[in-house]
Chains A and B, each alone.
Chain A
Amino acid sequence: MLGLNRKDTTLLIIVAILALAAPVIFNIFPADSKMAFFNSGYPDLMQRFVIFGIFAIGFNILFGLTGYLSFGHAAFLGVGSYAAVWMFKLLNYNIVPAILLSIIVAGLFSVVIGWISLRRSGIYFSILTLAFAEMSFRLAYSVLTPLTNGETGLQVYNDDPQILLGNGPTVPHLFGLEMRSRAVVDVGPWEFTFPVGYYLCAILMLLSFYLSIRIFRSPFGMMLRAIKSNQTRMSYTGLNPKPYTLAAFVISGMYAGLAGGLLAAMDPLAGAERMQWTASGEVVIMAILGGAGTLIGPILGAGAIKYLENVFSKMNETLLESWFAFLPHWLQETLVWVISKFTGEGWHLTLGALFMLVIIFLPGGLVEGGQKIAARLRRKKPADDTDAAKTKPAE
């Protein structure tokens, strides 16, 4: 179907079902139960799942296929967001020109940075991309304030030109369909929210995912893998690897731009921190945590990180106390004391420890973990020929 083999079609369908049913799946706990804290089916977080999913899918096209580890990909996300917000400021709140421009600007930006950075390889390439991204971040935070509104982040003001605004909506919309509108469905004790913005992001994520499958399976994708496995040998056969890597770099930069544009479309503010090296590091972590070089890994990684960040940072001691209220007092206090070190202000500790555990025990990321579990269930060795879940970690 759609030019995919059966295995890939199955994967795409599974991802599609997951994405479209997310508002139900992520709100699995009844809304007034104590477990409702672990629900994540509200618009903002679901949108983040798929937007960062797009970002990670794009990153994976570069890193997973060619092995080039970019440490500055957040810069493309950032310029994408700025471009989108500028469109809101200048034209109107329609997201189509905003997202198109964000992809184009991020594409152009990545042509320049990629063209320069790809003159080097290995860690030298990583540091070059890091340097460009850090420079962008620092300038956006200070000197470029007229363009970026600095620390506060670029936002739309009432006195902006917005030449096409007229009587149109004053929130981001798709030809009148407001991104923040949503339908709420109550089913018994459950409550499900179906937001417009989320579905737009989810559909774009599925398109991006489909495109990435096609790239992985195309001759171009083979070429990129060849670059990863042995670039020297490739040059000896008379092929110049540079155009291929540059193409991969620009494609992944445009994915990042799309993600940045969508972030702005869901919430019209672009903060400079989106370009900081920690943000670039986050997408690396997403890809590797999920399983670099696999198709679905980056999406899983992006979802896992955003979910854990949300849940652990919001767990406070009062909440923990109420959870363990049924225990004897001393046990409750001890438990709360121990757990509170890992939650609330300590959520970084949980995340750090979790990275370490995954990297140490699951070099192929969550995808490998899933395979191991599946294999154990099937009581046989993990199938090692599934392309979709190639476990060889990228370098």
Chain B
Amino acid sequence: MDAIILQLLNGLDKGSAYALIALGLTLIFGTLGVVNFAHGALFMIGAFCAVALQRILGTSFVTEDPTQKDFLGNPLKVQTPYLESWFGPETGSAIIDWSVPLAILLAIPVMVAIGFIMERGLIKHFYKRPHADQILVTFGLAIVLQELIRSYFGANPIQSPAPEAFKGSFDFGVMLGFDPNVIIYPYWRMVYFAFSAVIIGAVFAFLQFTTFGMVVRAGMADRETVGLLGINIDKRFTFMFGLAAAVAGVAGVMYAPINSPNYHMGMDFLVLSFVVVVVGGMGSLPGAVAAGFLLGILESFASMNVVKNLLPGIDQIIIYLVAIVILLARPRGLLGKKGVMED
């Protein structure tokens, strides 16, 4: 029982990352009809916004400390962040400590700008092209983006820790009447889950309850008719691309403390997030979110020792196995619409 609750928590957390990425992918696909293979790269750039802000806040001046030596035997160059010298060591390091949450403020404008540039500069020309071309050109873009990040930040993962206040884990088990240390869960992952719930809720509310969202939804259903009504749907769709990029970006920022960002993390998520979107049903936002959580939870259950002993290697393939079963049982995924991406 305790093990199941534990993996359920794990699954919810994994699922929230999958759901956030799939949500952005579906926003782009549903509105613009474009299959964006660069979406993983946007997630990665988001994570590197956290790294970048950490570097910016940590910008230091160098003083030489003759009492210590560096590896070549020269006086050690001690780096003191400007923030620490301006605000005093306490406040300064506290600000740097909070660089990951603060990076959301940086990531939103950056990602929206990247989204706008991508849509206006590249994707726009591919609306009428075959899906295979869209996939390839965005795949090429993904490679270019990740290589640019690499040529600046290097190939090594870069640690970007959560604020000190969120270190460690919370003992759920004690709350539920189990022994201590049976069901524990890291604070930051709880933050991530709550954060993704808020973002998903906000996106749905935006589409459901605002006029803008209503028009976009109408455009998703029937782009031409909405255009004929004299509404400039293109502009709104560009905005949606920016929004999707921002969702991917903030998902990346908050993910940075969970796993150290590296330049190919986007590719690691790419295939997976596609499977999630397709299992959910192309173009269905609730489907994407549901599939994200479903696959996250199933993946966690598959990695339980009991299951692994029964079916060796099941945790390696569970996602794909589930995808096959669902697609065979439900031709268009969980909540997909007929005729979308079927030709």
Contact = CB atoms under 8 A, between A and B. Distances in A.
A142 B316 contact: yes
Contacts of A131: 275, 320-321, 323-324
Interface in B254-307: 271, 274-275, 278, 282
A393 B327 CA distance: 27
Interface string B68-99: 00000000000000000000000000000000
A70 to B, nearest CB: 11
Given A124-B278, A143-B312, A285-B136, A349 B147 contact: yes
A225 interface: no
B148 to A, nearest CB: 7
Given A231-B343, A277-B271, A116 B313 contact: no
A341 B151 CA distance: 7
Interface stretch (B7-15, B206-214, B328-336): B328-336
Interface string A341-356: 1000110110111111
Which of B151, B155, B317 is most buried by chain A, counting CB atoms within 10 A of its CB? B317
Interface stretch (B126-134, B192-200, B234-242): B126-134
B275 A349 contact: no
Given A124-B341, A341-B151, A393 B321 contact: no
Contact of B133 (A128, A348, A359): A359
Contact of B316 (A139, A288, A346): A139
Contacts of A307: none
A6 to B, nearest CB: 31
Interface stretch (B104-112, B138-146, B160-168, B173-181): B138-146
B218 interface: no
B47 interface: no
A143 B341 CA distance: 35
Contacts of B131: 69, 123, 395
B74 to A, nearest CB: 26
A67 B132 CA distance: 10
B193 to A, nearest CB: 27
Given A142-B313, A352-B147, A360-B137, A127 B327 contact: yes
A292 interface: yes
Nearest to B275: A127
B163 to A, nearest CB: 34
A353 B144 contact: yes
A333 B261 CA distance: 31
A293 to B, nearest CB: 11
A211 B122 CA distance: 39
B316 A284 contact: no
A356 B144 contact: yes
A372 interface: no
Given A127-B327, A353-B144, A122 B342 contact: yes
Given A131-B323, A134-B271, A349-B147, A139 B313 contact: yes
Nearest to B155: A345
Nearest to A134: B320
Contact of B328 (A119, A138, A142, A353): A119
A131 B316 CA distance: 12
Given A116-B324, A359-B140, A393 B151 contact: no
B136 A355 contact: yes
Interface in A355-395: 355-356, 359-360, 363, 393-395
Interface string A41-80: 0000000000000000000000000010100000000000
A132 B331 CA distance: 17
Contacts of A355: 136-137, 139-140, 143
B343 A359 contact: no
A355 B317 CA distance: 30
Which of B132, B137, B142 is most buried by chain A, counting CB atoms within 10 A of its CB? B132
A158 B313 CA distance: 30
A233 to B, nearest CB: 12
A131 to B, nearest CB: 4
Nearest to B142: A352
B147 A292 contact: no
A10 interface: no
Contacts of A359: 133, 136-137, 140
A292 B317 CA distance: 31
Contacts of A28: none
Nearest to A143: B313
A261 B155 CA distance: 35
Contact of A352 (B130, B143, B327, B333): B143
Contact of A127 (B136, B140, B142, B278): B278
A121 B131 CA distance: 13
Given A124-B333, A143-B316, A353-B140, A346 B151 contact: yes
A277 B37 CA distance: 14
Given A67-B343, A130-B320, 7 more contacts: A119-B331, A281-B139, A356-B137, A359-B136, A359-B140, A393-B132, A395-B130
5 contacts: A123-B131, A135-B320, A348-B146, A352-B140, A393-B132
7 shortest interchain CB distances as A-B pairs: A352-B143, A143-B313, A355-B140, A131-B320, A349-B147, A356-B140, A122-B342
